[in-house]
Amino acid sequence: MRKSLTAPDPDAYVLALDGWRRACVETLRAAVRKATGLEETVKWGHLVYAANGPVLLIRAEDERVLFGFWRGQRLREIEPRLKPGGKYEMATLEIREGMTINPAVASRLAREAVALNRTLGDPTKIAKAGRGVDRRARRVSAP
């Protein structure tokens, strides 16, 4: 079952978690917050980070934590475990108990995702305008 928390703010969201999910979200959150220019909020029942439109999300569910990027399909060279799906070039890393992601990689993903929004604009506005996906953007290179 996919279950999201309802929380009034990001700190309350994290405090409502326990065990491995809390540790995972705390690690991801700390890594993401190192990226400059991100606004953190609780939206749609999970943590959402925005800079010129939505950039990424952290969503804790009963059996997994999702680390998703609105333009994540462009970031798969950095983290090949990102699985494409959904609108806006979404791709998500599904983290289950015992799995990890290097915090430096999480920070890099966040920085590169912010750079994509800076270059291409808000992914939701592009989709609403009917322009689809802008394939002219630079590809992100692996470390």
Predicted TM-score (pTM) of the model is 0.85
Q: What is the pLDDT of residue 18?
A: 95
For residue 35, the 8-state DSSP code is: S
pLDDT in tens, the chain (143 residues): 355 567 889 999 999 999 999 999 999 999 999 877 799 999 989 999 999 999 999 999 999 999 999 999 999 999 999 999 988 899 999 999 999 999 999 999 999 999 999 999 999 887 655 544 444 444 444 44
CATH code for the domain defined by 10-127: 3.90.1150.200
Distances (CA, A) of 77 to 7, 82, 101, 126, 139: 33, 9, 15, 23, 9
pLDDT of residue 3: 53
Picking from 78, 129, 124, the residue whose alpha carbon sits closest to that of residue 105 is 78
DSSP code string of 80-120: TTPEE-SSTT-EEEEE-TT----HHHHHHHHHHHHHHHHHH
- Predicted pLDDT of residue 127: 60
CA pair distance 6, 22, nearest whole angstrom: 15
pLDDT, position 137: 44
Secondary structure letter of residue 137 according to DSSP: S
- Phi first, then psi: give them for residue 111, nearest 5 degrees: -60, -45
Write down the residue that tokens 């999480």 correspond to.
106
pLDDT value, residue 6: 76
pLDDT at residue 65, rounded to an integer: 98
Rg over CA atoms, the chain: 14
